[in-house]
Protein backbone atom coordinates (compact mmCIF):
# COMPACT_ATOMS: atom_id res chain seq x y z
CA UNK A 1 0.00 0.00 0.00
CA UNK A 2 0.98 3.62 -0.49
CA UNK A 3 0.47 6.72 1.54
CA UNK A 4 1.63 10.26 1.47
CA UNK A 5 2.61 11.20 5.00
CA UNK A 6 3.13 14.89 5.61
CA UNK A 7 3.82 15.28 1.95
CA UNK A 8 6.30 12.45 1.67
CA UNK A 9 5.48 9.23 -0.18
CA UNK A 10 5.58 5.99 1.76
CA UNK A 11 5.14 2.44 0.64
CA UNK A 12 4.80 -0.69 2.71
CA UNK A 13 2.72 -3.74 3.54
CA UNK A 14 1.77 -3.65 7.18
CA UNK A 15 -0.18 -6.46 8.78
CA UNK A 16 -3.87 -6.28 8.04
CA UNK A 17 -4.80 -5.35 11.59
CA UNK A 18 -2.29 -2.48 11.79
CA UNK A 19 -4.04 0.76 12.53
CA UNK A 20 -2.91 4.06 11.11
CA UNK A 21 -1.96 5.03 14.66
CA UNK A 22 0.21 1.96 15.06
CA UNK A 23 1.82 2.57 11.69
CA UNK A 24 2.64 6.17 12.54
CA UNK A 25 3.90 5.61 16.08
CA UNK A 26 5.51 2.19 16.00
CA UNK A 27 6.68 1.74 12.42
CA UNK A 28 7.42 5.31 11.37
CA UNK A 29 8.40 6.75 14.76
CA UNK A 30 6.07 9.68 14.27
CA UNK A 31 5.17 9.76 17.94
CA UNK A 32 3.55 13.18 17.89
CA UNK A 33 0.15 11.52 17.45
CA UNK A 34 -0.83 10.06 20.80
CA UNK A 35 -2.45 6.88 22.04
CA UNK A 36 -4.82 7.63 24.90
CA UNK A 37 -7.99 5.54 24.75
CA UNK A 38 -7.53 3.47 21.58
CA UNK A 39 -11.29 3.41 21.16
CA UNK A 40 -12.15 6.64 19.39
CA UNK A 41 -13.44 8.17 22.60
CA UNK A 42 -10.98 11.00 23.19
CA UNK A 43 -9.52 12.43 19.99
CA UNK A 44 -5.89 12.33 21.11
CA UNK A 45 -5.00 10.38 17.96
CA UNK A 46 -6.69 12.83 15.55
CA UNK A 47 -4.91 13.08 12.21
CA UNK A 48 -6.05 14.32 8.81
CA UNK A 49 -6.79 11.88 6.02
CA UNK A 50 -7.23 13.65 2.69
CA UNK A 51 -7.92 16.75 4.75
CA UNK A 52 -10.63 15.22 6.95
CA UNK A 53 -10.05 14.44 10.59
CA UNK A 54 -10.16 10.83 11.65
CA UNK A 55 -9.28 8.84 14.77
CA UNK A 56 -6.09 7.07 13.72
CA UNK A 57 -6.71 4.38 16.36
CA UNK A 58 -9.83 3.21 14.55
CA UNK A 59 -8.44 3.54 11.02
CA UNK A 60 -6.86 0.51 9.41
CA UNK A 61 -3.63 1.38 7.64
CA UNK A 62 -4.61 -0.60 4.57
CA UNK A 63 -7.90 1.21 4.49
CA UNK A 64 -6.01 4.42 3.70
CA UNK A 65 -4.23 3.10 0.63
CA UNK A 66 -3.58 5.93 -1.80
CA UNK A 67 -4.53 8.66 0.63
CA UNK A 68 -2.67 11.59 2.13
CA UNK A 69 -2.05 11.60 5.87
CA UNK A 70 -1.18 14.74 7.76
CA UNK A 71 -0.02 14.67 11.37
CA UNK A 72 1.17 17.29 13.83
CA UNK A 73 4.69 16.78 12.50
CA UNK A 74 3.44 18.13 9.19
CA UNK A 75 2.12 21.42 10.44
CA UNK A 76 5.37 23.32 10.65
CA UNK A 77 6.91 24.71 7.51
CA UNK A 78 10.32 24.07 6.05
CA UNK A 79 13.10 24.31 8.61
CA UNK A 80 10.50 23.91 11.32
CA UNK A 81 8.83 27.31 11.10
CA UNK A 82 5.75 27.02 13.25
CA UNK A 83 2.48 27.62 11.48
CA UNK A 84 0.08 30.27 12.72
CA UNK A 85 -2.05 27.83 14.70
CA UNK A 86 0.97 26.43 16.52
CA UNK A 87 2.18 29.95 17.26
CA UNK A 88 -1.26 30.91 18.52
CA UNK A 89 -1.39 27.86 20.79
CA UNK A 90 1.89 29.04 22.29
CA UNK A 91 0.88 32.68 22.55
CA UNK A 92 -2.45 31.88 24.17
CA UNK A 93 -1.17 29.08 26.43
CA UNK A 94 -3.39 26.46 24.85
CA UNK A 95 -1.19 23.54 25.93
CA UNK A 96 -0.66 22.52 29.57
CA UNK A 97 0.55 18.94 29.77
CA UNK A 98 0.50 18.90 25.98
CA UNK A 99 -0.71 15.33 25.54
CA UNK A 100 -3.94 16.25 23.76
CA UNK A 101 -2.29 19.12 21.87
CA UNK A 102 -1.38 17.32 18.63
CA UNK A 103 -4.96 16.12 18.22
CA UNK A 104 -6.33 19.54 19.10
CA UNK A 105 -4.10 21.16 16.47
CA UNK A 106 -5.10 18.74 13.73
CA UNK A 107 -8.76 19.25 14.55
CA UNK A 108 -8.37 23.04 14.69
CA UNK A 109 -6.49 23.08 11.43
CA UNK A 110 -9.26 21.10 9.76
CA UNK A 111 -11.89 23.38 11.24
CA UNK A 112 -10.35 26.52 9.80
CA UNK A 113 -9.93 24.85 6.43
CA UNK A 114 -13.61 23.90 6.38
CA UNK A 115 -14.91 27.07 8.02
CA UNK A 116 -12.55 30.07 8.00
CA UNK A 117 -14.78 32.26 10.19
CA UNK A 118 -16.34 29.92 12.74
CA UNK A 119 -18.52 31.29 15.51
CA UNK A 120 -17.68 30.35 19.08
CA UNK A 121 -20.51 27.85 19.03
CA UNK A 122 -19.17 26.29 15.85
CA UNK A 123 -15.69 26.09 17.34
CA UNK A 124 -17.03 24.39 20.44
CA UNK A 125 -19.11 21.91 18.49
CA UNK A 126 -16.24 21.01 16.18
CA UNK A 127 -13.57 20.78 18.85
CA UNK A 128 -15.79 18.79 21.23
CA UNK A 129 -14.23 15.65 19.82
CA UNK A 130 -10.88 16.41 21.44
CA UNK A 131 -10.87 15.85 25.17
CA UNK A 132 -8.52 17.78 27.43
CA UNK A 133 -8.29 16.88 31.11
CA UNK A 134 -6.04 19.79 31.99
CA UNK A 135 -8.81 22.12 30.89
CA UNK A 136 -7.20 24.18 28.14
CA UNK A 137 -10.50 24.65 26.29
CA UNK A 138 -10.80 28.41 26.94
CA UNK A 139 -7.33 29.05 25.59
CA UNK A 140 -7.77 26.74 22.62
CA UNK A 141 -10.91 28.65 21.76
CA UNK A 142 -9.06 31.95 22.03
CA UNK A 143 -6.20 30.66 19.89
CA UNK A 144 -8.51 29.45 17.13
CA UNK A 145 -10.45 32.71 17.17
CA UNK A 146 -7.24 34.68 16.95
CA UNK A 147 -5.99 32.70 13.97
CA UNK A 148 -9.31 32.97 12.18
CA UNK A 149 -9.32 36.70 12.68
CA UNK A 150 -5.71 37.15 11.61
CA UNK A 151 -6.24 35.08 8.49
CA UNK A 152 -9.33 37.03 7.53
CA UNK A 153 -7.35 40.23 7.81
CA UNK A 154 -4.99 38.68 5.30
Residues in region 41-100 near other proteins by CB under 8 A: 41-44, 46, 49, 52-55, 57-60, 62-63, 65, 71-73, 75-76, 80, 82, 86, 89-91, 93, 95-100
Contact flag: residue 122 with other proteins (CB under 8 A)? no
Contact flag: residue 126 with other proteins (CB under 8 A)? yes
The least distance separating other proteins from the CB of residue 126, rounded to whole angstroms, comes to: 6
Q: What distances in angstroms separate CA 77 from CA 6, 81, 82, one per listed residue?
A: 11, 5, 6
The least distance separating other proteins from the CB of residue 108, rounded to whole angstroms, comes to: 11
* Cα–Cα distance, 154 to 97 (Å, whole number): 32
* Cα–Cα distance, 120 to 89 (Å, whole number): 17
- 69, 105, 146, 148: which one binds other proteins (CB under 8 A): 105
Q: What number of chain residues touch other proteins (CB under 8 A)?
A: 79
Contacting other proteins within 12-31 (CB under 8 A)? 15-17, 19, 22, 25-26, 29-31
Cβ(3)–Cβ(10) under 8 Å? Answer: yes
Closest CA to 103 of 152, 54, 69, 61: 54
Helix, strand or coil for residue 43? coil
Amino acid sequence: MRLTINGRPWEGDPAGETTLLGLLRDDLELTGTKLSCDRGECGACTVQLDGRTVHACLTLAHGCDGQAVRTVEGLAGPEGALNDLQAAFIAHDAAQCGFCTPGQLMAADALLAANPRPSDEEIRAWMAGNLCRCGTYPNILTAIRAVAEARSRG
